[in-house]
Copies of this chain bind each other. A is one copy, B any other.
């Protein structure tokens, strides 16, 4: 299974990278440095977790991956823009990400802000053109509506603001769950849900796969918190304990390591039950990704 799984994932990543490369070509006569900056962050070694989930979910419900590809790419563009902006001096002030200099360290703050803005904007252009690959116009509009909600004030951006507001304080577990469910959870969830929507999934089945996504997303984030404590600096490419140093709210800080690990286990089990009840045709790769996310050490 492991070799087959790796082959499957690597093939999906290659498909996504090729499409992103095509979408983000420099267009004349526009400023070269802007495209350089966009491409620097877009091809800085991201795991492509969200777009892989979009394609895998679409296929799990019998939809060809190609149809879901623009949606997968748009979500990865939004994820990447959010990382560029999060790393800015005014925000998390990070010099490195995945062992490479952050965008504003290579270019400058202004270019990093604008590269993020351009990527976010481009994501919606890509979604608007998903009809070229056979996505129904009504479905394309539904995806734009849901993805913008997941990325905006009622989703990722709201979560980022709440995270900043919680710095230096000790949030309640409810506040922490709000932060995780929005800052990272909203885009994670829509990555999976969008794959199902483009495959034509509706009603209870869509609710079940969304529940899978939402629970897996929270488990993934708690696991991230745990790895930040126990992970090996070299393996994950950022300073271990940096969240603690920045007084960031994390599950281990509030619940302790053991209880946090139990939460990951419980959420993952519940997620997999929801997956079973979603009625998807082929769940093995989604299941394998879920197992990988919980078992990973980086």
Q: Does A88 contact B (CB under 8 A)?
A: yes
Instruction: Check B137 against A121 for contact (C-beta < 8 Å).
Output: no
Contact residue among B109, B120, B131, B144 (Cβ-Cβ distance under 8 Å from A120)? B120
Q: Does A114 contact B (CB under 8 A)?
A: yes
Instruction: Check A33 against B161 for contact (C-beta < 8 Å).
Output: yes
Contact residue among B35, B120, B148 (Cβ-Cβ distance under 8 Å from A128)? B148
Q: Digit string of A85-107 for contact with B (CB within 8 Å is 1, else 0)?
A: 10010110000000000000000
**A91 CA / B112 CA spacing, docked (Å):** 11
Instruction: Check A153 against B27 for contact (C-beta < 8 Å).
Output: yes
Q: Does A298 contact B (CB under 8 A)?
A: no
Instruction: Check A157 against B125 for contact (C-beta < 8 Å).
Output: no
**A131 CA / B141 CA spacing, docked (Å):** 9
Instruction: Check A113 against B113 for contact (C-beta < 8 Å).
Output: yes
Q: Does A3 contact B (CB under 8 A)?
A: no
Q: Does A160 contact B (CB under 8 A)?
A: yes
Q: Does A4 contact B (CB under 8 A)?
A: no
Instruction: Check A85 against B117 for contact (C-beta < 8 Å).
Output: yes
Residues from chain B with Cβ under 8 Å of A164 in the complex:
110-111
> What range describes how many residues of A lie at the interface?
35 or more
Q: Digit string of A173-204 for contact with B (CB within 8 Å is 1, else 0)?
A: 00000100010000000000000000000000
Residues from chain B with Cβ under 8 Å of A62 in the complex:
none
Q: How far is the CB of A52 from chain B (nearest CB, A)?
A: 23
**A142 CA / B129 CA spacing, docked (Å):** 8
Q: Does A152 contact B (CB under 8 A)?
A: yes
Contact residue among B85, B127, B154 (Cβ-Cβ distance under 8 Å from A113)? B85
Instruction: Check A157 against B29 for contact (C-beta < 8 Å).
Output: no
**A112 CA / B76 CA spacing, docked (Å):** 23
**A287 CA / B66 CA spacing, docked (Å):** 48
Contact residue among B109, B125, B144 (Cβ-Cβ distance under 8 Å from A125)? B144
Q: How far is the CB of A75 from chain B (nearest CB, A)?
A: 13
Could you name 26 residue pairs across A and B whose Cβ atoms are closer than 8 Å?
Answer: A31-B162, A31-B165, A33-B161, A34-B153, A34-B158, A81-B117, A85-B114, A90-B108, A90-B113, A113-B113, A114-B157, A117-B117, A118-B152, A118-B153, A118-B157, A120-B120, A120-B121, A121-B151, A124-B124, A125-B149, A128-B142, A128-B148, A129-B145, A137-B141, A141-B141, A144-B144
Residues in A lying within 8 Å of B, measured CB to CB: 27, 29-31, 33-35, 38, 81, 85, 88, 90-91, 108-111, 113-114, 116-118, 120-122, 124-125, 127-129, 131, 137-138, 140-142, 144-145, 148-149, 151-154, 157-158, 160-162, 164-165, 178, 182
